[in-house]
Amino acid sequence: MFEFSDWKENTNLIPQQIQNKEKYYHDLTNIEQSWTGRIDVMLANTFIQEAAQLIVNAIALFEHGYFDCAFYSLRQSLEVSTTMVYLAELSPEQRDIELEDWKGQSKFPMSNQMLKFLNDNGQAFSDIKKKMADYFDQLKQVKERLNKQVHKQGFNTFYVSRSHVLNRQRDQTQFVGLFESYVRSCIGAIAVLRLAIDPIPILLMDTDIYSRTDDLLTEAFSEEFVNEYIGEAEINAYKQTEVYIQYYEFIMNEEAKLPCVADVVKHQYIDKEKYDDILRQAHLLSRTDLLAVRICVSSDKIAKVYFHDGWLWYFTNTRSVRVHLGFDSRALKEIRDSNRHINVPYDRAFLTYIGSDENIYIEHNEPFTESELSSILADIIDRFTPNSFT
């Protein structure tokens, strides 16, 4: 049945297919997982996520045929990233004022005004822009070409022109290629602007740096991501900036962790067979890390240990016998609030709850004997929280 509204809405659209869509989405996780841990600019993390989402939106819009909206979304990803850096470079007092204006949709600098401020006053950004001059010159050209699309300059930016019978099949492959080149440029630009906040995503690519850091919000960029979207030469230029050098020198003064210790700190994984090695660097573990290690090595039956009703948990090289390895904190709380705390069936495994400030739950593959439980309490837990267990 003919639907006039459907015909009207779709008559000038030319849906496209982005063959590399899945790859772009996968590559964007490098940005989405590059959260900053800087307490003073934690707001940047929301901007990072939004910029990545705008790239996804752009691809979806382009595939549906809304090409001008797609170009606009790409440009917005750059503007959101610029706003992020602008706010981060302000003094704390000025940042609070500007952020309130931004949230209240009051008077706020336009993109060019923010860039001028950053060029003149932004310590990290201006240094990065100077050291990576060629990169930012290329990015400027991309932004200018995106502006032509967004402002509809030229008949090739009109729906009615592109969908005309004489033009509909002409240069579509080239048009898709052009759009994808903009996508790649914008993904790279978001990553570079993210690096104006801190260099952690690049630093963590260095195994020597990685071993000297604690558990961070930030994940390292992959080498493939950097090579494709930023470039080796540009990253080498970035490593000459003050922000990179300062972070690098600071972290290199820290003690390098053994791999088994880094696993505990960063991934909450305890290799019981490496217990002696872990103890050699016990001073690098948090109190909870060390408590988890001591609990887990106390019995071959223990697979996992949960703290604070499951907000933090550690797993070991003892594989759990559970069939369903998902996690629901409500199951832990039910045990905590019940009258039975020891050897509670948990799928095919068992849970034992120990009432303390940490609310500890031990997941074990076989029931504990009374002597085993007494040993855990007396030999391990009492050393850390004396008189606090019930």
* pLDDT 10s digits, 324-345: 877 888 889 998 999 899 999 9
Are 67 and 96 a contacting pair, CB within 8 Å? no
Q: So where are the chain's domains?
A: 4-252, 259-384
How many Å apart are CA 74 and CA 144, to the nearest integer? 12
Name which residue leads in pLDDT, 136 or 155.
136
| pTM of this structure | 0.88
Q: Do residues 306 and 361 lie in contact, with contact meaning Cβ atoms separated by under 8 Å? A: yes
Which band of pLDDT confidence, cut at 50, 70 and 90, is reported for residue 303? very high
Opening angle at CA 218, ends 213 and 220, nearest 5: 85
Checking if the pLDDT of 186 tops 50, the result is: yes
Question: Cβ distance 157 to 12 under 8 Å?
Answer: no
* Residue 124 scores a pLDDT above 80: yes
**Residue 95 clears pLDDT 70, i.e. is over it:** yes
- pLDDT given at position 386: 45
Strand order in the sheet with 360-364: 269-270, 312-316, 302-307, 360-364, 349-354, 344-346
CA distance linking residue 77 with residue 348, whole number of Å: 48
Confidence of residue 244 (pLDDT cuts 50, 70, 90): very high
Confidence of residue 390 (pLDDT cuts 50, 70, 90): very low
- Could you tell me what percent of the chain has a pLDDT over 90? 74
Given a cut of 70, whether residue 170 has pLDDT beyond it is no
User: Which range scores top for mean pLDDT: 143-157, 160-174, 231-245?
Assistant: 231-245
Higher pLDDT, 172 or 259: 259
Distance CA 6, CA 226 (A): 43
Residue with tokens 């063959």: 19
52 CB-near residues (< 8 Å, 6+ apart):
28, 31, 32, 77, 190
Q: How much is the pLDDT for 389?
A: 39
pLDDT at 231: 95
| Structure-token match 């099949």, residue found | 169
**Across the chain, what does the average pLDDT equal?**
91
3-state secondary structure labels for all residues of the chain: CCCHHHHHHHCCCCCCCCCCHHHHHHHHHHHHCCCCCCHHHCCHHHHHHHHHHHHHHHHHHHHHCCHHHHHHHHHHHHHHHHHHHHHHHCCHHHHHHHHHHHHCCCCCCCHHHHHHHHHHHCHHHHHHHHHCHHHHHHHHHHHHHHHHHHCCCCHHHCHHHHCCCCCCCCCHHHHHHHHHHHHHHHHHHHHHHHCCCCCHHHHCCCHHHHCCCCCCCCCCCCHHHHHHHCCHHHHHHHCCCHHHHHHHHHHHCCCCCCHHHHHHHHHCEECHHHHHHHHHCHHHCCHHHHHHHHHHCCCCCEEEEEEHHHCEEEEECCCCCCCCCCCCHHHHHHHHCCCCCCCEEECCEEEEEECCCCCEEEEECCCCCHHHHHHHHHHHHHHHCCCCCC
Q: What is the pLDDT of residue 171?
A: 66
- 294/284 Cα distance (integer angstroms): 15
pLDDT at 143 over 50: yes
For 347-385, how does the pLDDT look when each residue is reduced to its tens digit (9 = 90+)?
A: 999 999 987 778 899 999 999 998 888 888 876 666 665
Confidence of residue 387 (pLDDT cuts 50, 70, 90): very low
Cβ atoms of residues 248 and 209 within 8 Å: yes
Residues 390 and 304 sit within 8 Å (Cβ to Cβ) = no
Q: Which residue type sits at 42?
A: M
Per-residue pLDDT band at 346 (split at 50, 70, 90): very high
Q: Is the pLDDT of residue 165 over 50?
A: yes
Contacting residues for 7 by C-beta, under 8 A, at least 6 apart: none
Give residue-wise pLDDT tens across range 11-68: 888 888 999 999 999 999 999 999 999 999 999 999 999 999 999 999 999 999 999 9
Burial (CB count <10 Å: 0-12, 13-18, 19+), residue 336:
middle
